[in-house]
Amino acid sequence: MGMLIIETIIWYSKTNQEKMATCKGTFTALLMCFALIKSTQADLCGNVIYSPAYKTCCNGVLSHEWKGSCCGTVAYDRAYKTCCNGVLSHEWKGSCCGTVAYDRAYKTCCNGVLNQEWGSSCCGTVAYDRAYNKCCNGVLNQEWGSSCCGTVAYDRAYNKCCNGVLNRTWERSCCGTVAYNPAFKRCCNGVLC
């Protein structure tokens, strides 16, 4: 005489979400299915009951090994791989730049663009070292200056910025966009007079 196969659908609540499971098998398997569902160590992956202590469910796809993390539908171990916006890197890098994994000790990500060299700061999408360069309003200046005049770096000891225009002079006052010395000239409504 053959074994009787029983199939039933069970509705249950776990973590405030109502879930449905299908238990199928012999009467003994059915009892084990009910017990597993009632325990706090069971969950559903799609319609498959599994134990999160031994397997990983990634967006409805069950991995038969415990990996701990998901990258899309693929289970992976964070100690050995990196997931960047749904793309799995087969090396551990620690950081993401868009969908590319990278090591911060050797490269820099600036606004989604991976720079092959390390820099302490970003100027737009370019990495640079603040000790040698200056970023002024998104434009990288190859020479260092203590201040910015628009997009140009300059040294205040030798130059004057007047309303966004750089004057290469030591004069300390501005008349509109022109630097001048008030000991010798006057400014009349934004014009030297």
Q: Are residues 40 and 59 in the same domain?
A: no
Q: Are residues 47 and 58 in the same domain?
A: no
Q: Are residues 187 and 153 in the same domain?
A: no
Range of the domain at 181: 163-192
Q: Are residues 2 and 39 in the same domain?
A: yes
Residue 128, class by beta-carbon neighbours within 10 Å (0-12 exposed, 13-18 middle, 19+ buried)? buried
| Residue in 28, 10, 29 with CA at minimum distance from that of residue 20 | 10
pLDDT digits (tens, 9 = 90+) for 160-185: 999 999 999 888 899 999 999 988 99
Q: Are residues 151 and 108 in the same domain?
A: yes
Q: Are residues 169 and 153 in the same domain?
A: no
Q: Are residues 108 and 153 in the same domain?
A: yes
If one counts the domains in the chain, the total is 4
pTM over 0.85: no
pLDDT at 51: 79
| Residue in 74, 20, 16, 28 with CA at minimum distance from that of residue 49 | 20
37 to 32, 67, 156: CA distances (angstroms) = 9, 22, 73
pLDDT digits (tens, 9 = 90+) for 13-42: 444 444 445 555 555 555 666 665 555 567
Segment 55-73 mean pLDDT: 89
Q: Are residues 4 and 35 in the same domain?
A: yes
The two three-digit tokens of residue 126, written as one number: 């370019």
Contact between residue 39 and residue 65 where contact means Cβ atoms under 8 Å apart? no
Q: Are residues 108 and 147 in the same domain?
A: yes
The two three-digit tokens of residue 100, written as one number: 């590319």
Q: Are residues 118 and 137 in the same domain?
A: yes
Q: Which residues pair with 50 in a beta bridge?
A: 43
- Residue 88 CA to residue 78 CA, distance in Å, equals 10
In the chain, the amino acid numbered 82 is: T
pLDDT top residue among 91 and 69: 69
pLDDT at 187: 93
| Residue in 124, 119, 145, 125 with CA at minimum distance from that of residue 134 | 145
Q: Which of 101, 117, 136 is the last residue of a domain?
A: 101
| Residue in 76, 94, 67, 98 with CA at minimum distance from that of residue 85 | 98
Question: Tokens 């017990």 map to which residue?
Answer: 35
In the chain, the amino acid numbered 113 is: V
Q: Are residues 96 and 119 in the same domain?
A: no
Degrees to nearest 5, angle at CA 68 with 63 and 71: 70
Q: Are residues 1 and 43 in the same domain?
A: yes
